[in-house]
Amino acid sequence: MSYIEVEELSREPETLIRSCKIKVNGKSFTTPSRSVSVTKSTKTELDVAKPLITQNNTPLGEVYTRISLDDLSRIADDSKQGHERGEEFSKSISLRLEQLRDLGTIPYLVISVVDSNGNPYNQLPEKKILDLIFNLLWGTQNNAIIVPPLMGIFPEEKQYLDLINALHERQDSSNGRKPLPIMPIIPSAYALVAPTLLKQYWDIGCRLFAFNCENKKYGAFGFVIEKAHTELDKFSKESKESYAIHALNSKLKTGKGDTSRINSILGSGFGFDSFSSNHIIPKFIPPSTDIKDFFVFNDGDYGFSSFSKVVDPDKVLNTNIFKKYDLGEFNNFSSGVKLKICNSHNIEKSIREIQSYPKFIENEKLVTYLSNKEKIKGEILEIKNIAGHIKNPEMANEKASKKKKWFKK
């Protein structure tokens, strides 16, 4: 049984671009859509999005949290200290889910499990730890969608099958409560987009899938996305039910300096119905004093302009955050304040842009609109290319045949 219903509203010809109505246990949102993404420690997106969300514009809301296996083991430990750690962790994520719910979003929790060095765990945890994670996912108030924990890449197919079976068992043992839908994660590795695994998820009612973009540009996953759509489309035609794909950890921009341009909001062209912000921490983060300039999203050309080189501030910097300040005083702020202002600007601009997309798609004009954005000419070519590959599977198969296949197809 499916607990998520996907209805296609409109589609742009010769592309993967479409607009859908996705219903989650009685509440719905329209795609393309951008999640409001927060963590335990930051809620900037929530604050920026608050005046932009209306009853007719209800996005997903994401709480993203990283936790080490050591910390999970301490919480699972039957001791006073373990109970206190668990209570503190649960309260912090529950608060964020409640804030997102009150904002009007459909909130969900993402738990990223890492090792002691902060790297993906890359193994299925022992039953005691997996039960704890499930208790957090199912037991934390206001979590509307179950997202299996992010744990890296498992070494064998059996661990994925074991995870799916464990999810299904927990889903069935809801003790009379309203069942929560599951949004499984499709790994970004080609070989892991295995039909046997996707079919297992489909059979337990999954219709909304997540794809971990790992803070890389969408174009890097072209042939992987092709395979995911090809396999899911088969199940969709058999059951006469639609599906949707959500992009986790999507990269905000690509390129450097004055050549940088938007990436995240272009997800619709690459076959994603919605997306959320990146939460993967870079290996090296330079101190704020090293920041030489600050870049702001320019919706006129879809590039990122250096703040000091913005030609028309009335058009480029027309966001709520910049309206609070005298632009002439900007350079007197600390690096931390400047960065926060620019980040808030970029969030607001991207939310406003993505909110306009469904109407463009309804009129079959989104590609035309995006084609006029000077900085993303290359991305438009990639969008058209990936659509052509899916329409002509032999093109994708030629590329895919060069890749090592881990699982039997």
Which amino acid belongs to residue 263? N
The 3-state DSSP class for residue 215 equals coil
**Owner of token pair 């803070």:** 215
Question: Which residue from 184, 141, 142 is spatially nearest to 165, judged by alpha carbons?
Answer: 184
Residue 406, classed as helix, strand or coil, is coil
Positive/negative CA dihedral, 87, 58, 200, 194: negative
Give the 3-state DSSP-derived string for 225-270, with helices as H, strands as E and coil as C. Answer: HHHHHHHHHHHHHHHCCCCEEEEEEECCEECCHHHCEECHHHHHHH
Neighbours of 226 (CB within 10 A): 24
Residue 401, pLDDT score? 45
In what order do the strands lie in the sheet containing 18-24? 4-11, 18-24, 27-30
User: Where are the domains positioned within the chain?
Assistant: 4-400
Question: For residues 114 and 121, is the Cβ–Cβ distance under 8 A?
Answer: yes
Pairwise CA distance, residues 45 & 61, whole Å: 10
Total residues found in the chain within this entry: 409
How would you write the pLDDT of the chain (409 residues) with one tens digit per residue? 568 999 999 999 989 999 999 999 889 999 999 999 999 999 999 999 999 998 777 899 999 999 999 999 999 987 777 788 888 999 999 999 999 999 999 999 999 999 988 899 999 999 999 999 999 999 999 999 999 999 998 988 899 999 999 999 998 886 667 789 999 999 877 776 788 899 999 999 999 999 999 999 999 888 888 889 999 999 999 999 999 999 999 999 999 888 999 999 999 999 999 999 999 987 665 555 556 678 999 999 999 999 988 989 999 999 999 999 988 888 889 888 999 999 999 999 999 999 999 999 999 999 999 999 999 999 999 998 887 655 554 444 444 444 344 333 3
Residue 383 CA from chain centroid, whole number: 19
pTM of the model: 0.91
Determine the residue type at 255.
Answer: G
Residue 282's pLDDT is 73
Q: What are the Cα distances from residue 233, in Å, to 63, 160, 226, 244, 396? A: 29, 21, 11, 10, 15
What's the pLDDT score for residue 190? Answer: 74
CA-based nearest residue to 270, from 6, 10, 19, 15 = 15
pLDDT at 293: 79
| Domain 4-400 in this protein, CATH class | alpha beta
pLDDT of residue 361: 98
Do residues 82 and 75 lie in contact, with contact meaning Cβ atoms separated by under 8 Å? yes
- Paired with 306 in beta bridges are 295
